Amino acid sequence: MMTEVCVNAPAKINIGLHVLPGRVNGFHTIESIFQTVTLFDTLVVRASEKKGCIVECEDMKLPSDNTILSSYNAFRSVTGMDDFGVHVVLEKRIPSGGGLGGGSSDAAACIRAFEVLNKITLSVRQLEDIASKIGSDVFFFLLCGAEGCAVVTGRGEIVKPIHARDDLFMLLVFPGVHSSTREAYALFDEGFAAGKIVPCPDYADLETVYKTPASSWNFANSFTPFLVSRFPEIGFALDDLRREGALFVEMSGSGSTVYGVFASEADAESARSALALRWKGILAVRPFHCR
């Protein structure tokens, strides 16, 4: 019987993020393309004879209600495996509060590890039930398939996998500020009420636009102008990427990470070298998929 599984949990970026006005229930509908990239957390998940979930992480202090514990509780709830115990060691590389989905990806990676340890394969319905108990981005990481790319809408629970591009050379810049999702939505709601609207492509056109040259993309992130006003560093990072020749720049998720898409690996590396003089947190990445 397998007693230990090592899994990588990839970060994601949002290629465009259209946030619609809040519903009566307080939630917002989003429209976005989610793309996994080559930045990973690593988790070693060990079966334990002791009931419960122990999480270790030397890289950062995790909250008591972290997504790994939430994934364990959701897995037990959906499968009925009450006596299942695990010990998880997390090596954290994806920054918290960066809009890269690190916590959600960790949760999804744990669910896959739990499947292996228990020799079961969860149905799509079970995966959806589990994701609904953890967080909206978890749907994508569990349902995007081998491509690691999908058009996402609803609260994040409607995931349509699409073919991932191989010709995107990207730089991530971490501006050094922490943006909370709650604050981002509050700023968006305030701005929307004041008539400030960010033009975004129609949902039906997202996949078509994604397939066009990055230099012609009209994707936008509804949060960006409001977060730039709150954290000028985000705007500075976007401007620096443009100056270094990025074909397209935008913020991922609710921030604060920004990214630029370059024409070639050489162009991305040249920009990385130049920007490293100003930004401590900068990383070259490519789209990640499992095909």
pLDDT in tens, 171-226: 999 999 998 999 999 999 999 999 998 999 999 999 999 999 999 999 999 999 99
Q: Is 50 a catalytic residue?
A: no
Instruction: Quote the pTM value.
Output: 0.95
The DSSP bridge pattern shows strands 52-56 and 85-91 to be parallel
What are the start-end ranges of the H helices in the chain? Answer: 67-79, 102-118, 124-132, 136-143, 181-193, 206-210, 224-230, 232-243, 265-275
Q: Choose, from 12, 41, 240, 267, the residue flagged as catalytic.
A: 12
Q: Choose, from 41, 92, 106, 137, the residue flagged as catalytic.
A: 137
Residue 2 pLDDT grade (very low, low, confident, very high; cuts 50, 70, 90): confident
180-192 exposure pattern, b = at least 16 Cβ within 10 A, e = fewer: ebebbbebbbebb
Residue 64 pLDDT grade (very low, low, confident, very high; cuts 50, 70, 90): confident
The answer to whether the CB of 94 falls within 8 A of the CB of 42 is no
Q: What is the dihedral of CA 268, 271, 276, 280, to 10 degrees?
A: -60
C-alpha 111/C-alpha 116 separation (Å) is 9
Q: Is 12 a catalytic residue?
A: yes
pLDDT in tens, 223-265: 999 999 999 999 999 999 999 999 999 999 999 999 999 999 9
Helix 232-243 to helix 265-275 angle, to the nearest 10 degrees? 130
SS3 state at 51: coil
Which structural domains are found in the chain, ordered by start?
A: 4-161 (3.30.230.10), 169-285 (3.30.70.890)
The answer to whether the CB of 17 falls within 8 A of the CB of 32 is yes
